[in-house]
Amino acid sequence: EVQLVESGGGLVQPGRSLRLSCAASGFTFDDYAMHWVRQAPGKGLEWVSGISWNSGSIGYADSVKGRFTISRDNAKNSLYLQMNSLRAEDTALYYCAKDRGWELRGAFDIWGQGTMVTVSS
């Protein structure tokens, strides 16, 4: 079964850091680009970051550029998001999503169930 399982979310104070993980199974992980997408409570979808199959191409939304870092470990079938200098507006459900292609040029055909990040003092 094709599956993405996110972990690492929680309650964190403004200015602190958090690292999210996404464990992939049921497909050849290193054949595909991967993404993080977030959804604030009651709001729409916002693309956060994406990484190509070999980490050669990486992109970030302007809202997180310079604060968040995406990475992947193909040997462990895992995707990560290091989030630093967290702000209240980063509060959201964070989804891991699989790209249909190997570069950042495909729609997202598999999604995890998400991990909640709450930034509050």
Partner 1 sequence: EIVLTQSPGTLSLSPGERATLSCRASQSVSSSYLAWYQQKPGQAPRLLIYGASSRATGIPDRFSGSGSGTDFTLTISRLEPEDFAVYYCQQYGSSPAITFGQGTRLEIK
**Contact footprint for partner 1 (CB under 8 A):** 35, 37, 44-47, 50, 57-62, 95, 100, 103-109, 111-114
Amino acid at 10: G
> Residue holding tokens 């190997």?
102
To the nearest whole angstrom, how small is the minimum distance from the Cβ of residue 102 to partner 1? 12
Give whichever of 60 and 84 is closer to partner 1, judged by the CB atom. Answer: 60
Give whichever of 16 and 43 is closer to partner 1, judged by the CB atom. Answer: 43
**Strand partners for 115:** 94
The token pair that represents 119 in the structure block? 């930034």
To the nearest whole angstrom, how small is the minimum distance from the Cβ of residue 40 to partner 1? 12
Q: Are 82 and 17 in contact (CB under 8 A)?
A: yes
Give whichever of 18 and 93 is closer to partner 1, judged by the CB atom. Answer: 93
- Name the 3-class secondary structure at 62: coil
61 closest CA partner among 50, 45, 49, 53:
49
The token pair that represents 112 in the structure block? 């995890």
To the nearest whole angstrom, how small is the minimum distance from the Cβ of residue 84 to partner 1? 20
To the nearest whole angstrom, how small is the minimum distance from the Cβ of residue 42 to partner 1? 11
